[in-house]
Structure 1
Amino acid sequence: MAEIKVKAEVKVYENVREAEVAEANAELAKKKAGWAKEAQVAEVEAAKAVALRDAELQTQVERMNALTRTEKLKAEFLSKASVEYETKVQEANWDLYNKQKAAEAILYQREKEAEAQKAIAEAEFYARQQIADGEFYAKKKEAEGLIALGQAQGAYLRNLLDAVGGNYAAMRDFMMINSGMFQEIAKINAEAVRGLQPKISIWTNGGGEGSNGSSNGAMKEVAGVYKMLPPLFKTVHEQTGMLPPAWMGTLPNSGSNN
């Protein structure tokens, strides 16, 4: 009995142990399955993570490539735009330079023309000033000459008036005779009455008479002048109505000396 009991207890113990082993194996299998599942999940997650990371990296690579291409295109366009800008700036600067030079040339030409006109104006002004100075000098000298002539004539008239004893009428008649005024009046009247058959007096100074010597020649000349005066005064009186001064005598009553 004891042996059976021992065997039974041993069997129970073995069963318990087998159950425990089976339970342990099941638990182990369960854990292995969980671990396998976790491992697979981890592998899948790792693969997905790798793929996601790869996609992210690819996206970043593509983005970087796009940025690189964009920057390259920008650089190309910018370089082209810069070249065009520099070209246009150079062309604009060249046009501006040409316009400035043309404006400077026009300004220089106008300055030279203005200087030439100024020089011409100054020369004309100088010439006019010289002419005016010459005219002023000539008029000044003419005025000085007139003053000197007036002073000389005044001195002459004073001396002449003193010579005739202060007789103004005698001085006037002398000056009229001396200046040939009576002869000029007779000439003018003769021209005026030409063709009207005026009365004309003709006289001589006795030129047909012979000379008695050199001592009598001068007296005959003086006598001839005095013989000439009465018919001259008569002719002037007949032509103009003017009478000779009383101190020179009176007119003959009739006739003329031939």
Structure 2
Amino acid sequence: MYRVARASESLVITGSGITDINITKKAWVLPGQSCTKFDISPVNYTFEVQAMSAEKLPFLLPAVFTVGPRADDEASLMKYAKLISPHDKLSNHVKDHVQGIIEGETRVLAASMTMEEIFKGTKEFKQEVFEKVQLELNQFGLLIYNANVKQLVDVQGHECFSYLGQKTQMEAANQAKIDVAEARMKGEIGEKLRLGETLQNAAKIDAETRIISTQRGGEGRKAEIKVRTEVKVYENHREAEVAEANAVLAKKKAGWAKEAQVAEVEAEKAVALRDAELQKEVERMNALAMTEKLKAELLSKASVEYETKVQEANWELYKKQKEEEAFLYEKEKEAEAQRATAEADFYRRKQIIDGDLYAKMKEAEGLKALAEAQGTYLHTLLEAVGGNYEAVRDYLMISGGMFQDLAKINGDAIHGLQPKISIWTNGEGSHEATAEGGGSALKEVAGIYKTLPPLFKTVHEQTGMMPPTWMGTITNDSSQ
């Protein structure tokens, strides 16, 4: 059957002998082939896109797009034919595609701009929306033939555009008032300036007139000589310009002649090139006709061989798939076993770590309780002695055996040495003690007490510590 499409339509042929699809205006439809007509005329789509600016302010964008396939591009027609083949051009299928692209690109662009930028740069905003939408429609073979975006409209409850318009009107009115005031100021100031300048210039002109009148006589003769000189120079200059213009004209005539000869040669070569292209097209059409004839003769044999090869390939594919599935199942079981082992090891390590953490927490709690007990102990001691820090310190030193430790450390320090030991007394009874070779126990105790002041002084000089008040005080007077 011979099929012909109308001016606004195209034919889509598929089937035997066609790899994908074939789009044409007229063609023979052979047995085993299918032919479908589709309309390529543009369609108007009316939308009202709701978008939101960068400040989260909503607005409406009414738009009318005239969209249709690219009639001059075969690749675009193939994309459009695949899109619309099961539908009509006025169906919701195509409209939903176009509307989704327009709404998506508009929202993305509006989200990156503030409401002030959208309001002031409406033309740039519309142009960028058209470019973004056209870029997405290219994948469906569609072209925006015409697009009309109406005035941006506020969403009910959000009067942002109306407020922006009022702001612009108020700014224009205020600027007009400022301009009027400045013009009035300039007019009044200019009037006064011109009046003053008129009076000054009149006086100046009267004074200069008398001076100039005496100079004009001599300047007249000078001017006459100067004019004659300038006329001669001008004549020479014009003669040089005429000579230069003649030279330029001669160069241009030579260039034009050269271009005319080159154009003639190019025209002859273009005719020969076109003849070769037409001959090449004739040979290609003959080759296509022979190819179609050979395809028709070998089609049945090739079909049988193709089916046989396909069955064999399917069997080999099925066999390999089963082998790969068995291998994959085995690997999955091994992975599950390894995962179970890893989970058990992870649980064991977690229990050990939790035990260590619990022990550390209990140890920290014990240290905290000990510190609290010691704080309570010190607080009780301070309350018992009426807040006397020195008394608490002396008590802790005595109860902790600090003096015994000092004595032991000093003894260990001089152990093995031969120190010179000095015994301090107040001089009383020393003779009797020496003569008698001893004394009573009371005298020995008195001698020990007499050695305490120098001992306290030595400890104070070495450690900076003072003795308790109940034991005595250190003074500079040795007699005390």
Same fold (TM over 0.5): no
TM-score, length-scaled by structure 2: 0.25
Please tell me whether Structure 1 or Structure 2 has the larger radius of gyration of its CA atoms.
1
Q: Structure 1 or 2: larger helix share? A: 1
More relative contact order, 1 or 2 (CA 8 Å, 6+ apart): 1
TM-score, length-scaled by structure 1: 0.42
